[in-house]
C-alpha cells in the first residue's frame, strides 16, 4: 500500500515596532507624516511532510531565517532600511519575501499586519 504524503502548512509569527512616513500619499494624508506601528508578520511554510521525518521543518530553523531580518527592521525607521524603498506594507512584504525565500524554499505566503485590521498577503511573483 502506498502512503499518501501529508501536506501541511506551518506558521511562524513575529512582531516588530517601527516608524515610517509614506511620501507616496497626498499632502495632508495621515500616512504621509511620520508615524509608528507595532507590526506582526506570519511566515507561512507549506509542503509535503517527509514520512521519515514526521515534521516539515524545525520551527527553530524558521526563527533562524527570520531573526536577522527582524533585527534590521525592529525599532527602526523603515524609510532608512536599505533596499526597501517607500515602506508601504506591500513593499515591506516583498522585501521580506525576497530575503526569506532563499533560506526558506517552502515559503508559501507572508501575511504582514500593519495594524490588527490592515493586512497585506504576498505569495511571491
Decide if 114 is catalytic: yes
The CA distance from 71 to 73, in Å, is 6
- Of 29, 35, 75, 80, the catalytic one is 75
User: 52-66 in b/e burial notation, b at 16+ Cβ within 10 A?
Assistant: eeeebbeeeebeebb
How far apart CA 20 and CA 114 sit, in angstroms, is: 11
Which one from 21, 31, 37, 46 is the annotated catalytic residue? 31
Cell digits of residue 72: 534590521
* Active centre residues (catalytic): 31, 75, 114
Amino acid at each position: 500500500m502506498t502512503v499518501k504524503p501529508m501536506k501541511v502548512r506551518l506558521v511562524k509569527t513575529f512582531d516588530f515596532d517601527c516608524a515610517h512616513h509614506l511620501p507616496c500619499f497626498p499632502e495632508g494624508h495621515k500616512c504621509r507624516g511620520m508615524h509608528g506601528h507595532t507590526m506582526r508578520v506570519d511566515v507561512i511554510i507549506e509542503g509535503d511532510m517527509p514520512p521519515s521525518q514526521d515534521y516539515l521543518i524545525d520551527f527553530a530553523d524558521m526563527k533562524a531565517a527570520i531573526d536577522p531580518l527582524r533585527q534590521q527592521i525592529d525599532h527602526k525607521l523603515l524609510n532608512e532600511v536599505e533596499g526597501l524603498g517607500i515602506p508601504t506594507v506591500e513593499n515591506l512584504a516583498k522585501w521580506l519575501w525576497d530575503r526569506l525565500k532563499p533560506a526558506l524554499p517552502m515559503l508559501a505566503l507572508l501575511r504582514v499586519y500593519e495594524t490588527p485590521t490592515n493586512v497585506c498577503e504576498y505569495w511571491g511573483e
